[in-house]
């Protein structure tokens, strides 16, 4: 008869656990999320905030303009608007190579409007704001001035760049 009593006691414990689970207040907190555009340049993965990128243009003809710095390969026509194009590799310490086709990410931040040459778009994702980590204090190199954080995507860290900091570096 003891085994029946133990079984009843275990049933009572399970019933109590189920009751507690049902009575818990469920709080559905919507985490603040931000859209991130992940791209590659020079074999590395980087990202911009999605609200800073207006559109991605396919490879197009860039009109060379004399006396521009090397990080400005020229100008493009975007539906009648003339926009400058920035070679981001200059600011990331990567080899400048004008050969091959590049996409152009049209960046808009305040008064700054410009195309940014990138190799390819990897992904556009929504990430919780609290998953964006501050950049390492030991980060070195030319890209350090543009970095505002890091995110983990598909098991690898992606460097988050700031369009506003890039705009501040551009001076003619």
Query: Number of structural domains, the chain?
Result: 1
Per-chain mean pLDDT for the chain: 83
Is 149 inside any structural domain? yes
Contact 39, 118 (CB under 8 A): yes
Where in the sequence is the domain holding 38, given as residue range(s)? Answer: 33-169
Query: What's 49's domain CATH number?
Result: 2.40.50.180
Whole-angstrom Cα distance, residue 40 to residue 13?
55
**Which string of b and e fits 33-65 if b means at least 16 CB within 10 Å?**
ebebbbbebeeebbbbbbebbeebbeeeebeee
Q: What is the pLDDT of residues 91-128, one digit of tens each?
A: 888 876 656 688 999 999 988 999 999 999 999 999 98
Q: What is the arithmetic mean of pLDDT over 74-98?
A: 86
Is 26 inside any structural domain? no
Q: What is the pLDDT of residues 37-63, one digit of tens each?
A: 999 988 889 999 999 999 999 988 889
Is 130 inside any structural domain? yes
Place of tokens 């026509």: 77
């Amino acid at each position: 008869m003891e085994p029946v009593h133990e079984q009843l006691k275990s049933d009572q414990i399970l019933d109590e656990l189920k009751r507690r689970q049902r009575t818990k207040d469920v709080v559905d907190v919507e985490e603040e999320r931000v859209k991130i555009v992940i791209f590659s340049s020079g074999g590395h993965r980087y990202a911009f905030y999605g609200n800073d990128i207006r559109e991605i243009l396919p490879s197009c003809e860039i009109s060379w303009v004399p006396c521009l710095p090397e990080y400005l390969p020229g100008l493009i026509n975007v539906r009648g608007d003339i926009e400058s194009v920035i070679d981001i590799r200059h600011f990331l310490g990567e080899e400048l190579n004008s050969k091959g086709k590049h996409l152009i990410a049209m960046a808009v931040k305040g008064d700054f409007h410009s195309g940014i040459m990138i190799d390819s778009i990897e992904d556009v994702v929504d990430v919780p704001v609290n998953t964006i980590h501050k950049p390492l204090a030991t980060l070195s190199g030319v890209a350090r001035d543009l970095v505002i954080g890091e995110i983990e995507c598909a098991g690898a860290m992606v460097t988050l760049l700031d369009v506003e900091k890039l705009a501040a570096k551009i001076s003619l």
